[in-house]
Amino acid sequence: MATPTPSLSPILTVPPSAIHSLAIGSALATDGGKVFVQSGAPSGATGGQPTELRVGDLASGTTAIIASIQAGHSITTLSVTPDRIVWVETWRAGPATNCNGAVPCCSGQGQPLQWQVVAFDRTSQVRQVLASGTNTRIAVQEECADVNPPVLAAEADRVAYTLEATTPTAPFGNEIVVRTLGGGSVVRSLTTPGFVSWLGLSGTALAYRETLGAELDGGTVQDARLMLATTDVQVPSLVDDHAWSAAVDGGELVWGRTDATDASIWALSLGSGVRVHVPGPSTSAFQHGGESGSWWVSVSGSYAAWVSPGSVNGGDQSAIPFLWNVGEPSARLVVLPTAIDGLFASGAWLIWEDDTGVAMHGIDLASLGG
């Protein structure tokens, strides 16, 4: 069978005149050309000022307040659906400066973490607490390792989140709960032997990354197995043993492997079950270097985006962005004017955070001809 010929240039050089920017801080999530952030820093469990959940519109350059967040509370994960904004909100009851004798002292480290899953109706602006609890488990063993909050995903009228489910044989096992956003009824619940570090929903499909082991560290969590169930009654099956980052949307599951050295990802059609390898672009401008892997994977509509380590035209080694028009035989190298510290495929937009952590930038891909 002949290899399809790419119909697009292997390099997308973004003209500065096409870039929209907002000094809004790091994004919790994106939705088309909109960026959602928590403004202000939580300053303790009992003191400080309320913070705000804000949305910035890259197309218009405007920002707006969505909701006030209680003092000392943080949004750890946020997901956007057409009707709702859903987030995990966490806080601690004790003094934030208590480090339990740990050196270095990391605020609140190791204390029980209280949490709630909140659904915010975008029309009525009414909040609903879908679930709440207290987490006590530290799975990821790194400097300033802390109690892990629930992982969250929301799509259409569904939300999925994790609960701690420790057993003697699964010290970092999780329970995944899927429920409706409208009525709140539980659609399914399943337990995993490993620690779940990512969840994704698309229609009736549930995908997640799961790491097995009892002594988890940052490297272990990067190298996780990717699991998938396409219906509510299906037992999840293994997709890949070495997925670093994954995303699902519009019936397409995409992921980057920890051993990728060619800026590639993999994609699986949830409808047909066809799996394809999406190689990086055929261009000498990109030189792979440093660690292997593809990460910060996202997919939305007709586009997927990710980064791989390397350099462009002999520049400094960094996280280099790539873009895939779903259905094309290979990806495109994206040349941006700044180094990046985050990347999102978001509807017809490609959005990135610059490495200062202050500004979000985006381009309307449709305006560039795809």
Q: Is 100 exposed, middle or buried (0-12, 13-18, 19+ CB in 10 A)?
A: exposed
What is the pLDDT, as a whole number, of residue 5?
63
Q: What does the alpha-carbon distance between residue 96 and residue 183 come to, in Å, rounded to a whole number?
A: 36
Q: Tens digits of per-residue pLDDT, 232-287?
A: 999 999 999 999 999 999 999 999 999 999 999 999 999 999 999 999 998 988 98
Query: What is the pLDDT tens value at each position of the chain, 370 positions in all?
Result: 445 666 789 999 999 999 999 999 999 999 999 999 998 755 444 456 789 999 999 999 999 999 999 999 999 999 999 999 999 999 997 665 556 666 677 777 788 999 999 999 999 999 999 999 999 999 998 888 899 999 999 999 999 999 999 999 999 999 999 999 998 899 999 999 999 999 999 999 999 999 998 889 988 999 999 999 999 999 999 999 999 999 999 999 999 999 999 999 999 999 999 999 999 998 988 988 878 999 999 999 999 999 999 989 888 778 999 999 999 999 999 999 888 999 999 999 999 999 887 899 999 999 887 6
pLDDT of residue 46: 47
Show the domains of the chain with their CATH numbers. Answer: 73-94+107-235 (2.130.10.150)
pLDDT tens digits, residue range 67-87?
Answer: 999 999 999 999 999 999 999
pLDDT at 199: 98
pTM of the model: 0.93
Residue 267: what pLDDT?
98
